[in-house]
Amino acid sequence: MKKYIFMLAVALSITLNVAAQKFENLALTPPMGWNSWNTFACDISEKTVKDMADLFIELGLDKVGFEYIVIDDGWMLKERDKQGNLVPDPKKFPNGMKAVADYVHSKGLKFGIYNCCGSQTCGGYPGGRGHEYQDALLYASYGIDYLKYDWCNTGKMYAPEAYKTMRDALYTAGRPVVFSICEWGDNQPWEWGAEIGHLWRTTGDIYCCYDCEYVVKKGEPDQWSAWGVWPILRMRKDIRKYAGPGHWNDPDMLEIGKCLSAAEDRSHFALWCLSAAPLILGNDLRTCTEETKKLITNKELIEVDQDKLGIQGFEYQFKDSISIWVKPLENDSWAVGFVNTSKDEKVLNFDFKANVIVDKDFNKTLDANKTEYVIRDLFEHKDLKTTTKKPVTAKIASHDIFMVRLTKK
């Protein structure tokens, strides 16, 4: 089987005459799922993946839209076999990768895997460079539905062409795959990613903190930084216009349920929803608290993220430590989040009629003087008032968010 995959890959890469492309009609809303890296790094196993699949069902994650279970770095042996194929680590995955994929699929979920453009992955395992068509066929034989493709050990490779090669290989293998471009925003993937992948990382890695920079040194003078929730969200300006159905800006995976306060978790999740970001959990679902479960299964927040209009939100105003984020939705509805970035409680007093909000990128206007909206609290799940009444008031704890949806009356 392995020899057959190798020979077929060689033949396809030499004789391919079909104009390859990315798979269309996938990720029409931001992908939702779970990835192993944030909690387990390379310490993953068949049992862990099966446990997560079981918990998707037990926690009801599948019912609110979470569907992908993605294995990150460290799933294979340190060397390819004699035919050049990747080999799942038999200690971690004794029944092979297809058995794991079959188990995930048996739960009605989808299965994802990881590799890298370079000669080695970030964890030092075999990368995909020079093996793209061979690897794509192997992934198809496993039954994968999602590929996260990293950018370590790439030397002087040209990112758009490197990712295009893997895109073409996946398309040639014939199994529809959501292709996640993970080159950290270094080469402006929002400018070229839409024709190649379904989502692209916009920054370096997220770090489990609210507002920090964590410098990771890999030997002087080489170093790189990971970032907390707040800085990573605001790091890129003017790229929201590149995102939409089938091609999303990706500010990295969620750190919810790991190290943040409950208020910070709420802000993190709600801001990712306002940003039309992929919602990829990274916590250990086996220790998921009721509070975390309630947050990540909040249908009204998720509906904001999954809105079919597919417009990424933006920061409308920053005043007195309160950051206001708005997102146009279908049917002339809007989602609005008020984030308290300070260390002290803040009292919100916001008059929608006094704030005409214009989205210049997508030609949308929120004008409460012309349209009356019902204001709904998306955490308390209740209607508050309409925009013709008095200004909206709320007490917002430190690093917390007050989030509402405005629907035409």
As annotated, the active-site residues are 150, 205
Strands (DSSP E) contained in 205-342 are: 213-217, 223-227, 248-250, 279-281, 314-319, 322-328, 334-340
Please state, as a whole number, how many other Cβ atoms lie within 10 Å of the Cβ of residue 241.
Answer: 14
Structure tokens at 84: 């050049």
Residue appearing with tokens 């998720």? 302
Alpha carbons 326 and 336: distance in angstroms, whole number: 4
User: Is 407 strand, coil or helix?
Assistant: strand
Is omega for the bond preceding 221 within 30 degrees of 0, making it cis?
yes
Strands (DSSP E) contained in 15-56 are: 32-35
**CA distance readout (Å), 81 to 7, 84, 89, 114, 226:** 14, 5, 12, 18, 34
**CA distance readout (Å), 203 to 34, 206, 231, 239, 313:** 19, 8, 10, 12, 17
User: Is 222 strand, coil or helix?
Assistant: coil
User: Is 19 strand, coil or helix?
Assistant: coil
- Measured on CA atoms in the order 226, 271, 283, 55, is the torsion positive or negative? negative
Cβ pair 128, 122 in contact under 8 A: no
User: Is 15 strand, coil or helix?
Assistant: helix
Please state, as a whole number, how many other Cβ atoms lie within 10 Å of the Cβ of residue 194.
Answer: 17
Q: What angle do the packed helices 96-106 and 132-142 form, to 10 degrees?
A: 50
**CA distance readout (Å), 405 to 248, 334, 379:** 22, 6, 10
103 CB-near residues (< 8 Å, 6+ apart): 49, 50, 53
- Concatenated DSSP letters of 149-178: EE-SS-TT--HHHHHHHHHHHHHHHTS--E
